[in-house]
Chains A and B, each alone.
Chain A
Amino acid sequence: MKDSILNNKLTGDYLIAHLDILSYLQSCNIPPNNKFSIEVADDMRDMLLSAQENGTPISDIVGNDIKSFCEDIVQSYNSKRVKLLDFLKNLNYYLCFLLLMVLIFQVFEASVNLSTIVTFLLCWFLYKYILNFFYKKLCLKFKGLKNKIMCILLIFSASALCLFPIVLIIITYCDFRLNGYYVAIVCLLLILVVQIICKKLYKNIKWYDYFI
């Protein structure tokens, strides 16, 4: 997707429309490096480029409402099953990280605290979904790359401000020391359960799919 953004000859409104579509896809939790995202990015670039060369208005490509056009694209990718699978894959990715982190803590005899685990899951795993929720609402209102970056920074700062007191509460009230090995076992069990569910949803899933 990155190549499609950087190596295209789109200009003006065509470039803005291309960026709008790609931002919307990302805000719908479709991974940017996934096959679907790359394909849509390339298709959109080709369609808009040929419209730009022929002087065809953008509305002839995306219709009068770019949001419903993007929604139609997202729907063609996101069945409930795919959404759930992506969420679970993401969860397992972070659980693997947590497992590694907890083991390192334990090996170096640092304390593993419940608040650390909750904060990790909230700030790293769930935060992405919170950010995307707001980004989806706002990304089409901020046109162009500069404004999109501003929008992301705005949402990021506002959410961080809201998250800060929650993290403080977690640190204060979840101050329980845990045995790192037990936490690692629980993580491992959770990873296995998620893997079994993922396998049921999609038979060809491999263990390394969580990391790509």
Chain B
Amino acid sequence: MNARLRLFIPLLIFAVVALVFLTLEKRIGSGEYDPSNLPSAMLGQSVPAFNLSRLMDAEQVVDAEDIVGQAALLNVWATWCIACRAEHAYLNELASQGVPIFGLNYKDERAAAVQWLQRLGNPYRLNIFDFKGSLGLDLGVYGAPETYVIDAQGIIRYRHVGILDAKVWREKIEPLGLQWAVAQAQGAAL
């Protein structure tokens, strides 16, 4: 009988492999997993140190301290990024609700970016002008748009790749349980 049982080993191996594939397909189908999206390596780490100028004022210098201190979003955007235009309306809405949003203008032209904001509205408390993409590199940015969720201690809690919308807020950001310095009663409106 031992010989007969050994012949079941290939079937067993296949069953395991098929199970793995089934799990993967289910997770892709539910939107939980996207093979082309990279999970951030910076989760649980503090915002990296940087020293860059402000978008609106080339003379003024910003560093990490300026954006840490409360639960906030750090939104990576650029005028060359078409999807950023699509999510801009939602960012405006979030800002009007009082959610602190900081902008990281990634490898862009200063004049064009300022014009863009003037035309489409400025939801950002502060905009960092990252011409070379050095802060982007330190954060692990590989495209735009991306949004980082930072807690009050300056720790990166979540990184979303792609357009930010109400669904993402509901399913990914809200469950983090951060204290948004915003009127809690208006939470439902988000």
Question: Do A and B truly interact?
Answer: no
Give chain A's interface residues, CB within 8 Å of chain B. none
